[in-house]
Structure 1
Amino acid sequence: MNLESPKTTINKSSETVFNFLSDIKNFEKLMPENISKFEVLGEDKFLFALKGMPEIVLKKKEVVPPNKIVLGAAGGKLDFSLIGHISEIDANTSEVYLQFSGEFNAMMAMMIKGPISKFIETLANNMPSAV
């Protein structure tokens, strides 16, 4: 299953956006209002939970400065990745979108598609004011 957030324009350089997303503590600023838990577990790993959902641990898996950051599931039953794609429009403007990718059975995919789509859209929409 592959889902993408809408593209978001941010009035910061791609390097600034990349540096912001590289610091996993900053993901707390992007989280939706219904977050019930956020905890930094290390330099490259954090845990979060949304109300009514299980806790999810994400770990930084790959960085390609200043264009791409890959976070992946760190343990748990589901294997997926959340990829931040950053494109430079000009020296002070960049465009970002998030891609969620994972292998799920049809029933699981049907259950999580809506909540995950809304989640990555919220993260992307919160970026311009957080960076």
Structure 2
Amino acid sequence: MTVIESTTVVNQPVEKVYAFLADLNNHQQLMPDNIYNWSSTVDEASFTIQNMAKLAIRISNRIENQELTAIPTEKAPFEIELKWTVADNGNGTTTVSHIISADLNMMMKMLAAGPLQKLADHQTKRVAEILN
């Protein structure tokens, strides 16, 4: 399993950060320019990654003010889990981590690991920009 992680600190209380991330409608704001055909509800989202694949995800697990996990609802090119964790730093700030776990064979890892890391980094950067 390939694990890709990106972390940032947001100057907002954990409840506000979790509430933003818990609604998949907000995730469109976190996506890079190569994502299009976005469609979402609070619990599900579908989109196309330019030159790659169409992906549909749904929230599979929620732990209030701690963690959100999303998994594909349709057959994906490989098994993938998207997880957001939030941790209260005790001073009105929140540490936000985006963890992508993907079951990549050696060939897929060479092709996909870089773009997945860029995606995770872009999304955590956007969370900080939007919520700070």
Q: Same fold (TM over 0.5)?
A: yes
Which residue in the other structure is 2:3 paired with?
A: 2
Q: Count matched residues.
A: 129
Query: Is the partner of 2:71 in helix, strand or coil?
Result: strand
Shift >4 Å, 4+ stretches: none
Tell me by how many angstroms 1:91 deviates. Answer: 4.8
- Structure 2 matches for 1:27-42, cutoff 5 A? 27-40=27-40, 42=41
Query: Is the partner of 2:89 in helix, strand or coil?
Result: strand
**Gaps spanning 5+ residues in structure 2: where?**
none
Query: Is the partner of 2:104 in helix, strand or coil?
Result: coil
Q: Considering only aligned residues, what root-mean-square deviation do their CA atoms show, in Å?
A: 1.3
TM-score normalized by the length of structure 1: 0.91
Which residue in the other structure is 1:60 paired with?
A: 59
Tell me by how many angstroms 1:16 deviates. Answer: 0.6
Give aligned-pair identity as a percent.
Answer: 22
2-structure distance, mates of 1:64, 1:20: 14
Query: Is the partner of 2:75 in helix, strand or coil?
Result: coil
Query: Is the partner of 1:38 in helix, strand or coil?
Result: strand
2-structure distance, mates of 1:126, 1:48: 18
TM-score normalized by the length of structure 2: 0.90
Which residue in the other structure is 1:44 paired with?
A: 43
Kindly provide the amino acid, as one letter, of the partner of residue 3 in structure 2: N
* 1:75 and 2:82 correspond: no
2-structure distance, mates of 1:16, 1:62: 18
